[in-house]
Amino acid sequence: MSEKGKSGYGSRLGLVCILIGASVGTGNVWRFPRMAAVNGGGAFVLAMVIVLFLMAVPIVCMENVMGRATRHGTPGAFRDFIGKKYTWMGTFSSMAALMMLSYYMAVMAWCVRYAGLSITKSYWGKDMAEVYDSVVNGSLATWVVFAVLCLLLYICVYKSQAMIEKVATFMVPVLALLLIIIAVRALMLPGSLEGVKYVFTIQPKHLFAAQTWLNALTQAAWSIGPGLMIMLNIAVYSSRKSDISLNTRIQAFGDMSIALVSTLGVIPTIFAMMSVSDAVAACESSNSGLTFLALTSLFQKIGGGYFISIMFFLALAFAAFSTATVQCMIGTQMFIDAGWSRKKGAAVTVAFLFIVGTPSALNEWFLLNQDMVWACLMLFGSIFLGFAAHKYGAEKIRTRLLNFEGNEIQEKRYWSTLTVWIAPIVITLVFVWWIWQAIGWYPDNWWSPFEQNSPGTIITQGLILFILCWALNNKVADSIKFKYFDGEDYPELPDELR
């Protein structure tokens, strides 16, 4: 189904690839398998499916509504949808997303470095901890790769929305193919079925554990990214009559499918080479410990491990880059809304990512600090979206902006309850849970802003951003040149955005 002339996308397939590529990232390939392993396997998978479709999908639908209705990036979307004084919510969410992307580019550089090390067998027979440290701390080579990736990101974003569509249409199928090859090879290993059983066996003690559901909520936030505002910016260029509810569910299904295929590649491999207790211990060693220490050791021991290691780290890099190209539009679109050219807006956004991300590319401690801070603060985006739905009228959104005649999926009344109340409340509880956990890590100086993962550092950096966004609210709102939304119906894609 062609959307050319009606939107900024060439086809329905291109839009679907962008949606899936935007949500599929390293969280699917390395974080989901680890979370599944340490939270009871099948119990976590079931919890994740429930959370994804009952909590994340309604919020992502809301993002799509606001982006399509206003034809603006996040600050302009909040301004035009619920009022000028709420522009700061969009600015806060946009900056949190860009701060995340800045260190995400550094993680992508690690993946590319490891792909290169796999090709040359440079870590074969070496101490994996020493190799890892040489890549993530003070490495000029890693910083150069980071810089090159920033340049490639700019090239892919500044030309047109069509270029982002081409990147996604290429990378998403290739990523899926790489992961399927890895999964097939993993399932051929002697003893790998123990890992498969673990992944798909639902253990009641885990299914009814609060920790499993809290981790599933966190993974959903990391994965499909409700409140991260990526989908809002994708929707700016979408057709005014395409089915938001259907597209969002296709995206969620694609996101979950990639996560499960990744899990079938990672967990059976670990269980085939280790005892159950050692396999779970490897997964509990953090994302970095699992990916860059445990798996690199295992690749050296299995037949075909050389090729599997190359494909695995390329898959990680592809997953990260497909997300980065769309996430970069969060910043670029803000400048386009202010009347800047796409080329200039992309240049300033990528320059910001390069400057802010350089410390993460050179120092793991700093990257992990940023990861903790912005992974927590991004949750506020979902709360803001729930407020926006309440302010505008959730039932009005459902009946006028979601349920078009002919749509394959018609949202029921519970969509309004999930969007306005259930999702924001549960996400708030997740944020409080994270803060409570962090207090336990630093019982004597939890308030310190200089501890890596303390509540003090999360609150301090969050307050600084909040104060800046609040103070600049009117200036940002007034900088947005046009208003397209009449408060009732979706406008066609404006000529200046084609």
Q: What is the DSSP string of 73-116?
A: -HHHHHHHHH-GGGHHHHHHHHHHHHHHHHHHHHHHHHHHHHHH
Residue 271: predicted pLDDT? 83
For the record, the structure tokens of 280 come out as: 């779970």
Tell me the C-alpha to C-alpha distance, in Å, between residue 428 and each of 43, 66, 207, 381, 434: 23, 22, 22, 11, 10
Residue 4: predicted pLDDT? 46
CA distance 417 to 146: 43
Q: Within 13 Å, how many C-alpha atoms sit on residue 405's CB side?
A: 0
Residue 287: predicted pLDDT? 66
Q: Whole-model pTM?
A: 0.93
For the record, the structure tokens of 234 come out as: 């994708």
Side chain identity, residue 412: K
Q: Which residue has the higher pLDDT, 7 or 387?
A: 387
Across 5-14, 151-160, 212-221, 340-349, the highest mean pLDDT is recorded for 340-349
What is the b/e burial string over 370-409, where b = at least 16 CB atoms within 10 angstroms of the residue's CB?
A: bbbbbbbbbbbbbbbbbbbbeebebeebbeebbbeeeeee
Q: Please list, in sequence order, all residues whose beta carbon lies within 8 angstroms of the beta carbon of residue 369, skipping any fewer than 6 positions away.
A: 452, 453, 457
Average pLDDT, the chain: 91
Of 19-28, 246-255, 455-464, the one with minimum mean pLDDT is: 19-28
Apex 19 CA angle, 14 and 24, nearest 5: 120
| Mean predicted confidence (pLDDT) in 188-212 | 88
- pLDDT-based confidence at residue 7 (cuts at 50, 70, 90): low
Q: What is the DSSP letter of 284?
A: T
The closest of 359, 325, 419, 355 to 20, measured between CA atoms, is 325
- pLDDT-based confidence at residue 2 (cuts at 50, 70, 90): very low
| Mean predicted confidence (pLDDT) in 402-417 | 94
What is the b/e burial string over 206-231, where b = at least 16 CB atoms within 10 angstroms of the residue's CB?
A: bbebeebbbbbbbbbbbbbbbbbbbb
Residue 108, pLDDT above cutoff 50: yes
Q: What percent of the chain has pLDDT over 70?
A: 97
Of 162-171, 309-318, 383-392, the one with minimum mean pLDDT is: 162-171
| Mean predicted confidence (pLDDT) in 312-341 | 94
Per DSSP, the residues of 25-64 read SHIIIIIHHHHHHHTTBHHHHHHHHHHIIIIIHHHHHHHH
Residue 6: predicted pLDDT? 55
Residue 461, pLDDT above cutoff 80: yes
The closest of 113, 52, 32, 25 to 283, measured between CA atoms, is 32
Residue 428, pLDDT above cutoff 50: yes
Of 186-200, 276-290, 387-401, 417-431, the one with minimum mean pLDDT is: 276-290
Give tens-digit pLDDT for 142-198: 999 999 999 999 999 998 777 888 888 888 899 899 999 999 999 998 889 988 988
Residue 3, pLDDT above cutoff 60: no
For the record, the structure tokens of 449 come out as: 């802003």
Residue 159: predicted pLDDT? 80
